Structures are given as structure tokens and as C-alpha cells.
Structure 1
Amino acid sequence: MIADGSSPLRLKRRRFTNVHPMEAQAAKAKLAAAKEKFGREIRVFETSPLSSSSNEESKTEEVDEFYEFTAEDYYRIMATKKEDKYLKTRKVREAEELARRSRITKAVIRIRFPDNHTLEATFHPSEKVQSLVDLLMKVISKPELPFYIYTTPPKKQIKDLSQDFYTAGFVPGAIIYFSYDIPKGNDDAAAKSGPFLQDEIMSLKGLELISEQAEPVQPAPAPEPVVSVPTPVVEERKPAEKKPIKPKWLKL
């Protein structure tokens, strides 16, 4: 589930060619060191809005028939509600919910900052949202300033930090936005323009691409040589000549 329903932002993924093995090894080591320090996998991407043409397409209004609610839609929804309400007991619903939770082992959270950078971190679904705020306190450039996180649309500030990621609806992943909580009238240009992440965290930008680019690719097995077997020549046999048979009644 993605908590953000707004127009998606594209990740600028740089392509690396001819990555030196030593450079790839250094990138992996740096990512591993960050995971060891912060206790979770961390990635940094650069984001950019969609092109204006895509935005214009998204603003195009649908025809009235698109929103028409048919009788078939009504009966299908009511049938689903009746099944959930009457055919499933509370224990069955709870068992199904536990089964769904057990199948999901991680929540990938992307925090987007106003300077077009995205921090991606991996959490366990049972962790509290407070753990995300604790991580942000360690990686943002100005932890002394108050800040808040929110989802959009509509813009909704995340206030209940005691919920786990699964209950909050942030599983298997979510997009969350970051903003400094600057009082109105206080024009803090530095806080608005960034940088929002520490230099140490920004140095992780693009490292996962270097490590992926250097992954050894298993060569496809060479096709087995086709040995042409000569077609056996079948000798054409002539039909045997029949010897004349002497009838028994013929006496010479």
C-alpha cells in the first residue's frame, strides 16, 4: 500500500558504465557501514516532478459516464459486505489478519524532502512510527529545529507515533513528506531551501546503483554444438525375379 496518492515523482537513476570493481566494493562497504550505524538499510535518491505534459494529462476531466454507479456495482459491493459480516466470524477475520501480517516482513518507507531528495529506509512492520522520527533526528542537517511528517493528498500530518507501520497503513511501503515546523512570519530561508540531509547521508546518493551495476552477470550457457549426422543411405533392392513354377499335372 502506498500512502501517497498524489502524482508520482520520478527517481533520477544515473547509469554507470564500466564500474571498476574497487569502486563497487567501496560503495558496498559504505552502504554496509551506514546499515551498521543506523541499524537499517538506507538509500538516497534524487527526485524530480513529472513533465508538464504528464501533469496536463492528469488534469484532464473524465466524462460523466466514468463516475456512473451502476446497479451491478451496488449489488457486488453489498454481496461483499454481507459475506464479510455474516459468513466470517470474528476469530476467522482475526486469523486472516494475522496471516496477512505474518507474510509481510518489511516496510519500505520513502521520506521526500523539499529539495527534491528522497531518503529510503527499511523497517519491520511491527515497529512504531516513532522509530522513523528517531531516524530522521539522526540524519537531518538541522535536528535542533522542530519538524513534522505528513502524507498527501489530502495533506494529513502524522501525529500518532505510537502506531506500528502495519496499523498506520504504511505496509508494504509508503511515501511520507518532511517539513520543518517554522512559525508563520519567521522567514528562515536556510530551513526552507536545505540541504535537509547531513553530508554523510548525502554521500550515499547513487551508491546502490554502483553496487548493482557491478554485480557479476552469469553468462548464458553456450549452446551445445549441433552435430550433423549423415542420413543413412538405404540401398534400393530390386524385386527378386520369380522362377516359373511347373504345374503338377504337366508331364513331359
Structure 2
Amino acid sequence: MLIDSPSAFKRRRFTTMDPLDAESSKAKLLAAKEKFGRDIRVFETSIASQTQNDFANSADEQDDFYEFTPEDYYRILATKKQDKFLKTRKIRESEQAARRSRITKAVIRVRFPDNNTLEATFHPSETVQRLFDLLMKVLARPEQPFYLYTTPPKKQIKDLSEDFYSAGFVPGAIVYFSENMPKGHDGTDASGPFLIDEIMSLKGLDLVVEQTGSVQPAEAMRESAAENPSAAVQDQKPTEKKAVKPKWLKM
């Protein structure tokens, strides 16, 4: 399962950043990691991604679009038959164990209806229950029943005992948050906020740290050139070639 890239939310790389702001942002992120036991980021969901998912999630969408056709069945059956003849069960299990050992983390992004995304890092062997435990700590209304689902097609996550690897949530996945509103509810609180202020204060801090890290090397190079201009000039000076008299030329 793929995860969307936060590159759409990044500001210009060469904006002048205050190192003190970067240190403060890094300290807040580390404090959150220490308190909640894992890396946490908060950012705004991109408009493009949101539009695509709104289209995909439109009211119990046309299930026939995702209908399993006879062609799909025979194609998968042929693949399984081929694997059965070419590989023994022990070989397949060995290969799967090797693939699993190479994956060290699962990056899960939870999208909320208010256009905010919470990102947290888990180990692939942890169960989905860990994700729900984290949400209970960071939700603004933890007493309100909620559920998570994936799409497309829309599928509610119910087996909390399954680990992230078995659930197909590695190396990362996007899941969607929805509150279980009682029938006849006017939806007054459905717009949020969904996360506590402490978590929302982390919004965008990782970008400040990343941008400062990318700007500092360029600034260091410029400062080095300013302190030692002769070296820069020497590097730029073209090498002079000695004139060689051709053998056929007689003076």
C-alpha cells in the first residue's frame, strides 16, 4: 500500500531559516517521541490527494468498478499454479521471511476530515491495536467512538490483532478516520478539531528542521568561498597550454 509524499507541502528550499527555530522544532518533535513512544508528524493533506480520495470515497461508490472479473480470476490462478510448480513451500516461506526481515518500519498516515494528517512510525511486527492506542492518546474527543478504514474500495479495519506486515501496511499506508455518529446527529462536531492542541502544535515542524538542514550546507560553502577567495579564483583559472612548433615548420 502506497503512501502519499509530503513534497507538495514543502516550502521553498532556500528560504532563510532561523537556526533557533530549527532547534526548537527538533526539541518539540523529540519530546513528542519520548512521550508517545514513536516518531510523530502532523501536516496538511494536499488538495490534489484530497480531491482524488473524495472522488474515490463518494458515497458507497460503484462497487462494480472494483468487481472481480473472470479474467482476474484466471490470471491469478495461472500465477499461483506457476509458483506452485517452481517453488516449494519451504522456499516461499524462506523468501517471505527474508523480505520481512528487511523491512524495519511501517509509516502509517491517518487522514482526518478536517484536512489534517497524522503520521506515526511503527515496527512491522506491532499490531494494528497499537495504532488505535496511539489515537486514544492524541484525539481531542477520545470518548467519541470512531473507526478507521482503507480505500478503494472502502474497507473498515476490524482485526486489531493483525500485525502491520500481515495487514499489508508496510512500508507505509494511508488510513482514514471517521467518527461513529448516532442516527439523527446533526454533525455539529464532525468538522473537528480531531487532535489535541499538543499534537497540532507539531504541525509543519519537521519541514522547518529539513529546510534548515538543506540550507546550511549551501551557506557554509558560500562562507568558505568568501573567507578564501584566492582558492576560488585559482580553481576557476584556466590552464595555459605551451605553444608547440610543428615539425614541418622550418624557420
Q: What range is the shorter-chain TM-score in?
A: 0.7 to 0.9
Could you say which residue in structure 2 is the equivalent of 1:212?
210
Could you say which residue in structure 2 is the equivalent of 1:50?
48
AA paired with 1:89? T
* 1:174 is the counterpart of 2:173: yes
SS at match of 2:183: coil
SS at match of 1:86: helix
1:13 to 10, 13, 22: 10
| Distance across 2 between alignment mates of 1:227 and 1:233 | 19
The answer to whether the 8 Å contact 1:148/1:180 transfers is: yes
The answer to whether the 8 Å contact 1:112/1:119 transfers is: yes
C-alpha change, 1:98 and 1:224, in structure 2 (3 Å) is farther
Unaligned runs of 5+ in 2: 57-69, 226-231
| Distance across 1 between alignment mates of 2:147 and 2:125 | 22
Could you say which residue in structure 2 is the equivalent of 1:250?
none
SS at match of 1:168: coil
Matches for 1:51-70 after TM superposition, within 5 Å: none
AA paired with 2:162? Q
SS at match of 1:81: helix
The answer to whether the 8 Å contact 1:10/1:49 transfers is: no
| Distance across 1 between alignment mates of 2:49 and 2:38 | 33
SS at match of 1:214: helix
How far off its partner does 1:13 sit? 3.4
1:194 to 178, 192, 208: 192
| Distance across 1 between alignment mates of 2:52 and 2:187 | 33
* 1:39 is the counterpart of 2:42: no
Matches for 1:224-239 after TM superposition, within 5 Å: 225-233=237-245
The answer to whether the 8 Å contact 1:10/1:47 transfers is: no
AA paired with 1:13? K
How far off its partner does 1:12 sit? 3.4
How far off its partner does 1:51 sit? 9.1
TM-score (normalizing by structure 2): 0.76
Unaligned runs of 5+ in 1: 59-68, 240-252
| Distance across 2 between alignment mates of 1:36 and 1:122 | 13
Deviations 1:213-248 (A, max 9, x none): 111326499656432132234676869xxxxxxxxx
| Distance across 2 between alignment mates of 1:52 and 1:180 | 18
Q: Percent identity?
A: 62
Could you say which residue in structure 2 is the equivalent of 1:139?
138
Whichever of the two has the greater Rg, that structure is 1
| Distance across 2 between alignment mates of 1:186 and 1:238 | 105
Between Structure 1 and Structure 2, the one with more helix by share is 2
C-alpha change, 1:126 and 1:137, in structure 2 (3 Å) is same
C-alpha change, 1:165 and 1:77, in structure 2 (3 Å) is closer
How far off its partner does 1:122 sit? 0.8
What is the aligned length?
Answer: 223
Could you say which residue in structure 2 is the equivalent of 1:245?
none
AA paired with 1:28? K
How far off its partner does 1:9 sit? 10
SS at match of 2:240: coil
SS at match of 2:209: helix
CA RMSD of aligned residues (A): 3.6
C-alpha change, 1:133 and 1:90, in structure 2 (3 Å) is same
| Distance across 1 between alignment mates of 2:164 and 2:246 | 77
1:29 to 12, 19, 27: 27
C-alpha change, 1:82 and 1:225, in structure 2 (3 Å) is farther
The answer to whether the 8 Å contact 1:129/1:161 transfers is: yes
How far off its partner does 1:187 sit? 2.7
